[in-house]
Amino acid sequence: MTQVLEDRSTRRAPQDAPQTIIQLQQVSKVYPNGSQALIDINLEVKRGDFLFITGPSGSGKSTLLKLLYGEERPSQGEIVVDRDAPDRLRGDRLSHLRRRIGIVFQDYKLLPA
């Protein structure tokens, strides 16, 4: 089971910034082979929150991240990241969203060996 642990920060956002920065409503991801990665997920992340996504292999952590940055599309449900729906963005608009998100992949080498 994937767990999301959070810490509410005391940092302040500009007045016009949305308070909710990530929202998932009844999001599911089912692959063509019938494999269910996520089922009916609801999540709200407020500006300034600090999260850890943990869980065993195959629990949907990578799928969740791919949905947030628009590499994959949900089978059902709504995703909003900083006022944008990643599954509806294309080209430059999707690139712009990805530049505002920081993700470090587990196999991505940050330093040369």
Contacts of 108 (CB under 8 A, 6+ apart): none
Instruction: Give the pTM.
Output: 0.76
Specify the higher pLDDT residue, 24 or 53: 24
Q: pLDDT by residue (tens digit) across 62-103?
A: 999 999 999 999 999 999 998 999 999 999 999 898 888 877
SS3 label, residue 61: helix
Closest CA to 77 of 22, 38, 40: 40
Half-sphere exposure of 24 (CA within 13 A, CB side): 21
CATH fold, domain 3-99, is Rossmann fold (3.40.50)
Residue 6 scores a pLDDT above 80:
no
